[in-house]
Structure 1
């Protein structure tokens, strides 16, 4: 007889892999000039944040599914605001990269995440430099360099956006550990979105007003409500699925599932977006970059 708990865990992992891959491919399709042609990544990110914040508000304040945590002005100013700023930055830069480089290459660059996280942790004092970790991070970096060298449609701007987004996300993760744990604050999926999503929305408003609003006023793009609603709904579901998976599995399981998801996503992206071309060097470099993480 199949263990029901184990079966449910695998189901959550499958949902996470499908949603994560789906959101990435959906965002690429929406933003790409060759497909839906909505070249406004900050706007798309603001839609996600606004929708997530609104749903979280309804769940906390209206339907009272969960209770808000005790939030003082000091905690909000010193914890929520900086975390929200880097969360907004990581989403902004990451989504902007879709305008310039392929989904497959973006996933290869994301192999740098452990390197960026380790560097930020050392800088913030939550981790110490260790020789074994340094060698693993060096191997990851070499793999990413090989993948970049093998990229046929290499774009400096897109690569810079993605790498900047990776370091912003790494700093957000480290700050979350340092600031929230230091204050003894525990946030569940709903309360995380309740506090962080609206703040992230406000951080995105200024660059949107300066960079994208003028272009949207003269753009011929038609706003399709159902496209953006379904896109925001998928992003919200992904946020919830991440917390569900973390709650039911260990770090090793999540790491292996993430590697499996990345390989599946790279393969799917070449099918859905035929202009994405993968070379032998891409694959070799990505395999080298991922090998220390398995």
Structure 2
């Protein structure tokens, strides 16, 4: 066996239809971000189901104060790196700021990401983005939608704030969730929304939901890898837990996270809104 060759038995590849089957069986989906081949391989070996090349790389890799400076070239490069480290996990790539400003732009960027190794692209918001979701899904590009706190909207929102706390806002989020599913989205990330609202949305949809600061009742959970390893800068968001302290190593931390998600022990009451 060559150095670096994994002894972990190879799993069957996770697929887009497979995620929906996991929802129907109440099998929690374990998701994390990654930005290079080495960490991607560690996540894959630990049994992570879904790996996201997030535009969060602008903050945790490039050192920017937001995700806005991230480019299509950046995501394409990191997608190719991560794809080389994966054997089984499903790879999702973020459409960065303004890459989905029109269906045509989104199609061009998404094509690059799938050619680099992604199996799905993620975009933020509903509204005019519904046309883009439909445009991509009709052209055989699986789409993950993202509602709640959408970091690319940080300037309009005035910061990173919990969304859907008021009744009208909650109803609008539920309406948007149904709309992105109708437009063709295969998956939905819910970020920083009250747990009770996330549970309502999850129960109302046929597609799986992935929560981050959205409670235990989502069909799966995702964290930024650097946050899971206690490497986040500044004030730690409420929904973050440092699993490295518990796991003792990168592999141990990811395994501890995966187990906690699958056993529905994470997020706990202290991590939700």
More strand by share: 2
Task: Using structure 1 for the length normalisation, give the TM-score.
Answer: 0.29
Structure number with larger C-alpha Rg:
1
**Structure with the larger RCO, 1 or 2 (CA within 8 Å, 6+ apart):** 1
More helix by share: 1
